[in-house]
Amino acid sequence: MKKEKVTEKVEKENDVITNDKTDTTVQKAKSLIIKLEDLVPFKDHPYKVIENESMTELTDSIKKHGILNPLLVRPLEGEDGKYEIISGHRRFYAAQKLGMRKVPCTVHFIDRDAATVMMVDSNCQRTELLPSEKAWAYKMKMEAMSRQGKRTDLTSDPVGPKSKRSNEKLAESVNESVTQIKRYIRLTYLVPELLQYVDDGKIGMRPAVEMSYLDEEVQRDIVDRIDESGGEVFPSHAQTRRIRQQAENGKITYDDITAIMDEKKPNQAPTYKVSENMVFEITKRRFTPQEFDELIKKALECYARELKRQRDRDAR
């Protein structure tokens, strides 16, 4: 144990991070065993660490096999001996649960913008990412790349071929289309409650994007209407477009929003199904779809006439 501590200390002291832009020396990443107490989560990182089945499986795997993939970290500026986690927050959490004192890490000597790009790239292939995680991750990477001198304003239309190339490069790096990235970034303009509904699958991407253009007061009114309905009424894409259009044309009130959201949506209209076997049992024959439609029409007309005769008899 003492030898490990000495070696680790020597390696830390031999690593000098410089901000001198004239220094072209690129320090190679190195492997270290670092104490958990010296690791700090990436500031404002968008990925949620939650207790679920996937976390249980990860914890069980680490307990049985150890951490096979080292955490990616970087030296934290202004904090001697501290490291900021770039990728591996779930492994860090699992290690804490298991009472581990140290974990294997790969240290990258890079600035925060480069670390942000690396953080997003190392997590973008995860299949279980929530919409909110993608939204904030893409926005963080966009802003980091912008500070690095790349024009990647994905909240508006690209300007010029250089911007287009940058947009496409960002899209390719996260395996999304430029249009889809724009949509995800728009989600960061939602109030937390609406964004949570998107994560929960109760609000779709298209209505969420429409709502992202509304000011906070109008978004809060939508949240209030959802709460008032007991979580039963959510705006459709068509409804959010109307709310946005009315808000842009002038002031929209809570009563206006309620009236729009309470309208019956096409997918809420009742549907009726008639079993083919039931029809065969009654008619003793099979029908083509066109014949079946005509049969239903005639049956309903006959039923309507019978109801009318019944009402006429009752009126006498």
Q: Read off the pTM.
A: 0.69
Digit-coded pLDDT (tens) for 51-82: 888 899 999 999 999 999 999 999 998 888 99
Mean pLDDT of all residues in 167-187 = 85
Contact between residue 8 and residue 32 where contact means Cβ atoms under 8 Å apart: yes
Comparing CA positions, the residue from 48, 122, 41, 45 lying closest to residue 74 is 41
Contact between residue 131 and residue 188 where contact means Cβ atoms under 8 Å apart: no
Digit-coded pLDDT (tens) for 258-280: 999 998 765 554 556 677 677 77
Contact between residue 198 and residue 208 where contact means Cβ atoms under 8 Å apart: yes
pLDDT band of 12, cuts 50, 70, 90: very low
d(CA 196, CA 163): 32
Does the structural domain 2-12+26-110 have CATH classification 3.90.1530.10?
yes
Q: Count the Cβ atoms, other than its own, within 10 Å of residue 261.
A: 22
Q: So where are the chain's domains?
A: 2-12+26-110, 125-189, 191-290
Comparing CA positions, the residue from 219, 179, 177 lying closest to residue 198 is 219
